[in-house]
Amino acid sequence: MRLPVARLAFLGSLVASLSFGSTGGAFAADGAASSASNDAAAGYVIAQRLFRERKFDETIVALDAFLALHPRDARALVLRGDAKADLGQNELALKDYNVAIGIAPEYQYAYVTRCETRLQLDDTSGALADCNTAVRLDPTDALAYEDRADVQFARETYDLALADYDKAIEAGRSSAYVFAARCDSERLVGKRERARADCEKALALDPKSRRGLWARARIALLEQRYVDGIADLNAYIVQNPRASDTAYYFRGLAYNRIMSYRQALDDLHTYVQRRPSDADGYKERAVARYGVGDKEGALADLGIAQSSYRKAADGAAAERVAEMLRAIAAGKPPPP
> Beta-carbon neighbour count of residue 106 at 10 Å?
11
Percent of the chain with pLDDT over 70: 88
Q: Where are the alpha helices (DSSP H) in 171-260?
A: 176-188, 192-205, 210-222, 226-239, 245-257
Say what the pLDDT of residue 32 is: 41
- 277: helix, strand or coil: coil
Q: Which of 29-33, 149-153, 156-160 has the lowest mean pLDDT?
A: 29-33
Say what the pLDDT of residue 14 is: 42
Mean pLDDT over 89-111 rounds to: 98
Mean pLDDT over 90-96 rounds to: 98
Q: What is 1-105's CATH superfamily?
A: Tetratricopeptide repeat domain (1.25.40.10)
Say what the pLDDT of residue 336 is: 87
**pTM, entire model:** 0.84
- How many whole angstroms separate alpha carbon 283 and alpha carbon 49? 52
Q: Environment class of residue 274 by beta-carbon count within 10 Å: exposed (0-12), middle (13-18) or buried (19+)?
A: middle
pLDDT tens digits along 47-85: 999 999 999 999 999 999 999 999 999 999 999 999 999
